[in-house]
Structure 1
C-alpha cells in the first residue's frame, strides 16, 4: 500500500512500459515551503535549490505537515482518478501525458493492508513449496494422459523399468544415437533385423513374438497380441477377471518385458542371462518367485505350470 503520492509515483514509474518515454522526462518534487508535489522536468530538477520550486510549475496539493499524507485510495472516486491541482488546468503535451498515464494506471484495487508478496501460481496468492513443485513439474516434465502404475508385488527396480518404458527413456541403441552418442550399430542385437527401439525389442522382434505367443497359449485368458504397454493396460481394464488373476497376468507380462531386456543386455555386454530356448521357462520361474514371495497368491510350482490363473 502506498502511503504517499511520492511512493505512488515511484510505483507508477516502475509499472509503465518503456514505450511511454514522456514519463521518464518528468518527476514529482516536494516543495518544502508549501508541502505540495510539483511536476518538474528531469532536466530542471538539478536547478531547484533546497526543494524551493517556482510557483509556475504544476502542483498537486497533499496538505500541510500537520495532516497525514493522502493515501492513493483517497484520490479515486467512482473508479476514476481525482487530483486537485493547484493550477487550473493541464494543457497541451502535459495534458496528453497525464491522460496516457491515467490510462496505463487503470483502476487498481486499493487496500489499507501493508504491502506483501503475492504468488500467481495458485488461487490463494500465498507461496507454498507444493504449488511451486507442481508448477515446475508441469513445465519441465513430459505430459502424459496415462497414469504411472506401481505394483507392490514386484521389485522396485522393475517398477522403475516399466516407468522408463512408458517414457521411452531406456538406453536402446536408437535413443542413444538420437542423443548424439556414437555407437557402432543401431541394429537390434536379438534379431539383427531393424533399428533397435523399445517397440522392436519388446513387441516386434522375432524373439519377442515367439515368447509372447508361448505366454498367450500358456495363460489361455484371451490375451491379444500386444504392440505396446498401453495396449496391454487397455485390455486389462476391459477384461473381467478376479483381482488375483489380474495380478498374475500383470506379473507374467512384466516379467516377460524384464526378461527380454535382460536377455538383450546379455547379448550387448557379452554377459549370459539365459539361452534363447530357455527364455520362456525363465519367465515362468521368475514370475512364480515374485508372486510366491511378495503376494503369496501362488504356492505350488506344478499347479503354476499347468493352471497359472
Structure 2
C-alpha cells in the first residue's frame, strides 16, 4: 500500500519531503555537464573533433549520433525551463572569445534572441565583442544603408544596455548562474531541477542528525499521518477485524489516541514531564508541541534536547505498540520510560557527542 506519492519521497527537506532526489534530474544534470565541459575546454581534442563534425555552435544537429542526443536533451532542458536560459553566462574580459550575438553575456538571453530584427540585419553575425567594440564605440555593419522605424528604437535600447561595457586584459570566462561559486556542478543542477519538477508538502521536514535515519523517517510519516494505524488502514478500504487500540482497548487506534490521548500514552507523558522538570502541558498533536516549544522561554540547547526527548517518546510508543500487535508480547509498561531514557542518552552521546556522563545527564536532561 502506497502511503505517499513517490514524488513526495524524492523532493527536498525544504519542500517537506525526504530528500531522496530524482534520478531523472540526476541523469539530465549529468548530460548537461557535457555542455559545461564543451564550453570550458574549447582546445581539448574531443571538442575539436565534435566541432569538426557538428560545427562550432552547441545547438541541435541532424542525425542520430550520441552527440546529437546529448545536444537535443540539453536543448530540451532549457525549453522545458528545468534550468534558466542564462545558466551559463560569459563574464567579459578582453572580449575576444565571446560571440557578440550568440553567447549570453548580458541580460538573461543572447542578443540574437532579444534583438532579433537587428540580428537579421547584421552582416557579421559571428563577430566577437572585441570585434564590435572599437576604440570605445560599437561598430555596426548593417545590410542596408539606414535603419528605420522600430529598428531605430531597438538600436537605441541595445546601445543603452551596453553603454557601460569595458574591456580589460583578463581572459573571458564562463560562469554558472545557479551556483554560488559560479562553477557548474551536477549536484547543484540536480537540486535546481528537483525544485522545478517535484511537488511540495505543506509541512516542512525537520531532519535531526542526532537521531537515526529510521526515526527521522518515522517522524515524517507520523507528522503526515502516514503510519499504518488501524484507523488509517480502515479508511483506505482494508477489511480489518477491529480498529480498537490494543494496548488500552478503550478507543480507536488513530494518531491522536495512540500518541497523546490514551491513558497509556498520557501516563508516559506524565513521567517524562516529571523527569525533565519543565512546565510542559499535555498536547493533542505534534503541532501543539512545536507551537509551545517555539513560544516558550527555553534556551536553544534545552529546546533541542527536549525535542529529541519527545521524538524518542513517540518512537518508543510506536515500537511498544508494534511489539504487542505483531509479536504478541506482554510488554512491561513501567520499563518504557527506561527505554526512552536509554535511547535518548545513546543518541546524545554517540551521535550528537553532547553528553558523556549517564548520572549527570539523568539528573539534568535539559
Q: How does the TM-score come out when normalised to structure 2? A: 0.47
Name whichever of 153-162 and 126-135 sits farther off. Answer: 126-135
Pair 1:270 & 2:331 matched: no
Decide which moves more: 288-297 or 117-126.
117-126
Deviation at 1:173, TM superposition (A): 0.6
Pick one of 251, 268, 287 that aligns with 1:211.
268
Note the C-alpha offset of 1:294: 1.2
Task: Please point out which of 274, 281, 297 is paired with 1:240.
Answer: 297
**Distance in structure 2 (CA, Å) of the matches to 1:291 and 1:273:** 29
Q: What's the counterpart of residue 257 of structure 2?
A: 200
Encode CA deviations 1:116-137: one digit per residue, 9 max, x unaligned.
8774657946998666644543
**Pair 1:131–1:247, CA change in 2 (3 A):** closer
Q: Which has the higher contact order (CA 8 A, sep 6+)?
A: 2
Q: 2:229 aligns with which of 166, 172, 187?
A: 172
Aligned-pair CA distance for 1:202: 0.6
The runs of at least 4 aligned residues of structure 1 exceeding 3 Å deviation read 116-136, 271-274
Structure 2 distance, partners of 1:126, 1:133, is: 18
User: Which residue is 1:220 aligned to?
Assistant: 277
- Alpha-carbon deviation of 1:159? 0.3
Are positions 1:307 and 2:364 aligned together? yes
- Structure 2: runs of 5 or more not aligned: 1-74, 88-188
> Is 1:160 aligned with 2:221?
no
1:137 maps to which of 189, 195, 198:
198
Inter-CA distance 241–121: structure 2 relative to 1 (3 Å threshold): same
Whether 1:189 aligns to 2:246 is yes
Query: SS at the partner of 1:269?
Result: helix
Q: TM-score, normalised to structure 1's length? A: 0.56
After the TM superposition, which of the residue ranges 234-243 and 129-138 deviates more from structure 2?
129-138
Which sections of structure 1, spanning at least 5 residues, go unmatched? 1-115
Q: If you compute each CA radius of gyration, which structure gives the higher value, 1 or 2?
A: 1
User: Could you tell me which of 301, 311, 316 is aligned with 1:254?
Assistant: 311
Q: Is the 8 A contact 1:187 1:193 kept in 2?
A: yes
